[in-house]
């Protein structure tokens, strides 16, 4: 074996062993809360914030760019390996090329563990903020659902609409104003303080919809990415949700709540409307199975034509997106959440209701007066 080939072999072994060791180390520490708190809030958070600031200088999404490059490299490398196998008929070289691909995926696995999955094991937003969610009665759930419906209805006429009454706010302007929506919530919950960075719209938003996603946080660049093919009335609330991930809140349950709370507590009526709309969807999903009559009464009493139009647009859009592809993607993400001790899996998207109800009941007086 030549010296160059020995160096190549040693380098390949190191490229396989080192990420495997990092994955193994993460497995050992993933349940050690004290260690992960130091890592996530002392090391990872400033790192992610720095990455976010750097990538905010580029208009395109680093998520789409790097994923395209990574997958493109994988495909080209594999095709080249197969072509060389046919031409040269050297099984060892083909195996070596496959191991290079395996090393890439191992490094990706290790990076996801240490740059994002670690956040699932650190202290939660509820623990750091002191906000404790309590199970609510059906009556309490119905009360808060009505409150959200009333506020959504009140604000539904304060947003721009087209001639047919559909939500028509300028989404580019919403992305521009997005960084300011956390100001009030950060005063209430200092643990949410972070850089006010713009979210980025995804070019491949329709693909995201086909997979059932409305946005995605990308820990390798610190960027919050938003699906702009989804119904526009909920894009501002999705911006709030993804910005919660930028503050190293991993739980989808908590990010749903934080995104709604950030929007409804800011002074921007477009974000307020979108936040109340998003919260109303979560509350409706919880109320409908336990008291359909209460929900029907709320819609009869509160829904304006504008709110009804946005509600129906949202339902029609996602009904049209249902497909086996979405089922597979949802199942895969459900497994990912459960693998990070999010025991409710995808159901955690609706479990934020307890936080919404608790938060609203604690502030019912001011909110009721505002509505």
- Report which of residues 112 and 365 the model is more confident about: 112
Q: What angle do CA 107, 112, 113 make, to 5 degrees?
A: 100
pLDDT at 363: 79
Over range 121-143, report the average pLDDT.
89
Residues in the chain: 371
Over range 81-92, report the average pLDDT.
80
Q: How many CB atoms lie within 10 A of CB 322?
A: 11
Helices (H), 218-304: 235-246, 252-265, 269-287, 292-302
- Report which of residues 333 and 267 the model is more confident about: 267
Residue 161 DSSP label:
B
- What's the CA gap between 9 and 24, in Å, rounded? 23
- How does residue 366 score in pLDDT terms, banded at 50, 70 and 90? very low
- How does residue 7 score in pLDDT terms, banded at 50, 70 and 90? low
- What's the CA gap between 196 and 210, in Å, rounded? 29
Tens-place pLDDT, residues 258-302: 999 999 999 999 999 999 999 999 999 999 988 999 999 999 999
- How does residue 349 score in pLDDT terms, banded at 50, 70 and 90? very low
Over range 16-20, report the average pLDDT.
94
Q: For 276, what's the count of Cα atoms within 13 Å in the CB-facing half-sphere?
A: 27
Q: Is 232 exposed, middle or buried (0-12, 13-18, 19+ CB in 10 A)?
A: buried
Tens-place pLDDT, residues 194-235: 888 999 999 999 988 888 889 999 999 999 999 999 999 999
pLDDT at 277: 97
* pLDDT, averaged across the chain: 87
- What's the CA gap between 74 and 69, in Å, rounded? 9
Q: Is the pLDDT of residue 171 over 60?
A: yes
Quote the tokens at residue 65. 């760019």
Quote the tokens at residue 83. 């072509």
For residue 321, give Cα distances in angstroms to 61, 192, 209, 232, 326. Answer: 23, 33, 7, 15, 8
Tens-place pLDDT, residues 158-167: 999 999 999 9
pLDDT at 369: 42
Beta bridge partners of 223: 218
Over range 87-100, report the average pLDDT.
82
For residue 176, give Cα distances in angstroms to 89, 172, 196, 198, 235. Answer: 56, 6, 11, 7, 13
Over range 238-243, report the average pLDDT.
96
Least trusted range by pLDDT, from 8-17, 160-169, 257-266, 358-367: 358-367
Q: Is 287 exposed, middle or buried (0-12, 13-18, 19+ CB in 10 A)?
A: buried
pLDDT at 2: 55
Q: Is the pLDDT of residue 114 over 80?
A: yes
Q: Is 15 exposed, middle or buried (0-12, 13-18, 19+ CB in 10 A)?
A: middle
* Coil, helix or strand at residue 167: strand
- What's the CA gap between 240 and 274, in Å, rounded? 10
pLDDT at 339: 53
pLDDT at 347: 36
Tens-place pLDDT, residues 308-324: 999 999 999 988 887 55
- How does residue 16 score in pLDDT terms, banded at 50, 70 and 90? very high
- Give the list of residues 6+ apart from residue 169 with CB closer than 8 angstroms, or none: 159, 160, 232, 236, 270
Its pTM stands at: 0.86
Q: Is the pLDDT of residue 35 over 60?
A: yes
Q: Is the pLDDT of residue 348 over 60?
A: no
pLDDT at 87: 82
- What's the CA gap between 154 and 186, in Å, rounded? 25
- Report which of residues 318 and 8 the model is more confident about: 318
Tens-place pLDDT, residues 51-84: 999 999 998 899 999 999 999 999 999 998 888 8
- What's the CA gap between 160 and 182, in Å, rounded? 23
Q: How many CB atoms lie within 10 A of CB 87?
A: 8
pLDDT at 333: 41
Residue 113 DSSP label:
I
The share of the chain scoring above pLDDT 90, in percent, equals: 69
């Amino acid at each position: 074996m030549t010296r160059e080939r020995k160096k190549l072999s040693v380098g390949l072994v190191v490229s396989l062993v080192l990420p495997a060791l990092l994955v193994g180390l993460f497995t050992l520490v993933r349940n050690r809360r004290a260690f992960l708190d130091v890592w996530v809030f002392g090391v990872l958070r400033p790192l992610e914030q720095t990455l976010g600031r750097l990538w905010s200088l580029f208009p395109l999404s680093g998520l789409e760019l790097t994923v395209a490059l990574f997958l493109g490299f994988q495909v080209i490398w594999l095709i080249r390996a197969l072509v060389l196998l046919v031409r040269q008929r050297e099984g060892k070289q083909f195996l070596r090329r496959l191991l290079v691909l395996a090393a890439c995926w191992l490094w990706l696995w290790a990076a996801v563990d240490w740059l994002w999955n670690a956040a699932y094991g650190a202290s939660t937003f509820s623990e750091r903020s002191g906000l404790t969610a309590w199970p609510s009665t059906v009556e309490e759930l119905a009360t808060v659902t009505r409150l959200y419906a009333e506020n959504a209805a009140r604000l539904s006429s304060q947003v721009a609409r087209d001639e047919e009454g559909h939500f028509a706010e300028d989404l580019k302007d919403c992305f521009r104003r997005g960084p300011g929506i956390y100001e009030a919530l950060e005063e209430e919950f200092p643990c949410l303080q972070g850089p006010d960075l713009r979210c980025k719209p995804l070019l491949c938003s329709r693909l995201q919809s086909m997979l059932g996603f409305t946005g995605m946080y990308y820990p390798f660049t610190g960027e919050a990415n938003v699906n702009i093919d989804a119904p526009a009335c909920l894009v501002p609330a999705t911006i709030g949700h993804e910005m919660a991930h930028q503050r190293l809140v991993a739980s989808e349950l908590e990010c749903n709540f934080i995104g709604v709370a950030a929007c409804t507590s800011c002074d921007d009526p477009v974000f307020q409307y979108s936040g109340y709309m998003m919260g109303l969807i979560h509350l409706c999903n919880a109320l409908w199975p336990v008291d359909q009559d209460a929900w029907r009464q709320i819609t009869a009493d509160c829904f304006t034509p504008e709110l009804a139009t946005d509600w129906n647009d949202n339902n029609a859009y996602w009904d049209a997106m249902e497909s086996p592809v979405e089922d597979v993607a949802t199942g895969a993400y459900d497994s990912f959440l459960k693998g990070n001790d999010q025991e409710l899996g995808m159901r955690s998207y609706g479990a934020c209701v307890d936080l919404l109800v608790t938060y609203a009941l604690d502030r019912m007086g001011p909110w009721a007066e505002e509505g």
